[in-house]
């Protein structure tokens, strides 16, 4: 169990890609735009030092770059894998539940992927 400090909802992008209303290339650009906005507003708490906070913001910008240049579904999925890893970063482990970086909502798509 975790407490998610930040959240991003990209379920509409996943639904549009799944329904073939949007390509993964276009979807990647939309996710990148949202991640860059989130990077500007990222809540990192008071436990981390300034250098670590800067590195984490840079990492999120790098993930946004991965989505921005995704040329196919495999590259889009790679960006998502990096985003999930980033989201699991523990910001504060002094109390349970741990404070983790980011909840990524991809909607029903996620449930179907995990059940296969």
User: How many structural domains compose the chain?
Assistant: 1
Mean pLDDT by 10 residues, the chain (116 residues): 89 93 96 97 91 96 96 93 96 85 83 39
Parent domain of 60 = 2-115
pLDDT at 116: 37
Check if the beta carbon of residue 103 is closer than 8 Å to that of residue 3.
no
Q: Give the whole-angstrom CA distance, residue 58 versus residue 88.
A: 16
């Amino acid at each position: 169990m975790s407490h998610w400090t930040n959240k991003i909802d990209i379920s509409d992008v996943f639904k549009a890609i799944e329904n073939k209303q949007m390509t993964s290339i276009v979807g990647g650009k939309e996710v990148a735009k949202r991640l860059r906005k989130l990077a500007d507003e990222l809540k990192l708490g008071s436990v981390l030092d300034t250098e670590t906070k800067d590195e984490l913001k840079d990492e999120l910008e790098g993930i946004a770059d991965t989505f921005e240049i995704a040329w196919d579904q495999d590259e889009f999925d790679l960006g998502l894998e990096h985003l999930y890893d980033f989201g699991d970063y523990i910001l504060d482990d002094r109390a349970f539940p741990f404070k983790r970086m980011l909840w990524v909502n991809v909607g029903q798509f996620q449930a179907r992927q995990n059940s296969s």
